[in-house]
Structure 1
Amino acid sequence: MNAPARYELFVLDEGERPVEVIEDTKIPNAATIKVMKQDHTLGNLIRAQLLSMPQVLFAGYKVPHPLQPHFLIKIQTDGTATPTEILEQACNKLIQMMVSLEAKFKREFSFKDVDGAVAEDPYGTVTAGGATWTDGRDYLDF
């Protein structure tokens, strides 16, 4: 089969760099960044975060071929910051967002027993007396 071994899709080879920046010589304040051993999941997430930033004029990504485990992301800024600085800021914001989401998820779906009265599971069933999940809360209420 032509598909590479599974570990080749996420394990960096000896001496392989995870990120490579290629400055664009034709477009001012632009660069193409090659991110190794990643796919659409991370590419789309970074692109969406970049587009939400006011300094970014253009952000797009592509996966050149499905059998090659990397993507290319193109960034053009307004000149107040370099594309690599903007990418770093976007990644830091995404990390902060994921940490916040994890904390909210753990808080919402923790199995707490409040004074021995109510213990809920994530599906809203009450195990020992008390209100049910439908007492005004929704599973999306973070």
Structure 2
Amino acid sequence: MNAPNRHELFVLDDGEKALEVSEDTKIPNAATFKIVKQDHTLGNMLRAQLLTSPVVLFAGYKTPHPLHPHFLLKIQTDGSMTPAAALEAAASRLIATLSSLEAKFRREFSFKDGETGGGAGGFNAGAGMGGEGDPYGSGGAAWGGASRDYLDF
């Protein structure tokens, strides 16, 4: 196949930098960042976070080719902050947002475990899948006696 090995898409090679910066000479207060071994997931989150800042005039990203594991992020600011500082601030805010999301996610699932009576995945030990062997749990016995849909965690 033409596709590279999976590990080559995420593991940095020896001496390879994760971030390369090139200042734009034609546009004031603009720079292009090449972020290596990442894809659309990080690119889109960084772009969205950058655009929430009032000092950022433009933020966009592109992946030049699907088989090349990097993307280019272009940032232009109003001059009160450098593009590198704007990227650093956006990355810090993104990390804080994701940490908050993770804490909320863990809290919600700890509540679900508490109300079902324990067990991995919220099932009672020995109760089986729905009591009668129903794979969708419509029997209610596996969910602490309450009648719930199989999509309820």
Length-normalised TM-score, structure 1: 0.81
Could you tell me which residue of structure 1 aligns to residue 117 of structure 2?
Answer: 119
Q: Percent identity?
A: 61
Supply the RMSD in Å over aligned alpha carbons: 2.4
CA distance in 1 between counterparts of 2:2 and 2:68 reads 11
Partner of 1:112, secondary structure, is helix
Runs of 4+ in 1 over 2 A off after TM superposition: 118-123
> Following the alignment from structure 2 to structure 1, what is the Cα–Cα distance between the partners of residues 78 and 21?
18
Aligned to 2:132: none
1:119·1:128 contact (CA, 8 Å) conserved in 2?
no
**In proportion to residue count, which structure has more helix?**
2
Alignment gaps of 5+ in structure 2 = 124-136
Which structure 1 residue ranges, 5 or more long, are not aligned?
Answer: 134-138
- Measured in 1, the distance between the counterparts of 2:17 and 2:50 equals 22
CA distance in 1, matches of 2:106, 2:114: 11
Contact map agreement 1:58 1:77 (CA 8 A) in 2: yes
What is residue 41 of structure 1 aligned with on the other side? Answer: 41
After TM superposition, the score normalised by the length of structure 2 is 0.76
Structure 2 counterparts to residues 1-142 of structure 1, below 5 A:
1-110=1-110, 111-112=113-114, 119=117, 121=122, 126-127=143-144
User: How many aligned positions are there?
Assistant: 128
Q: CA deviation at 1:112?
A: 2.2
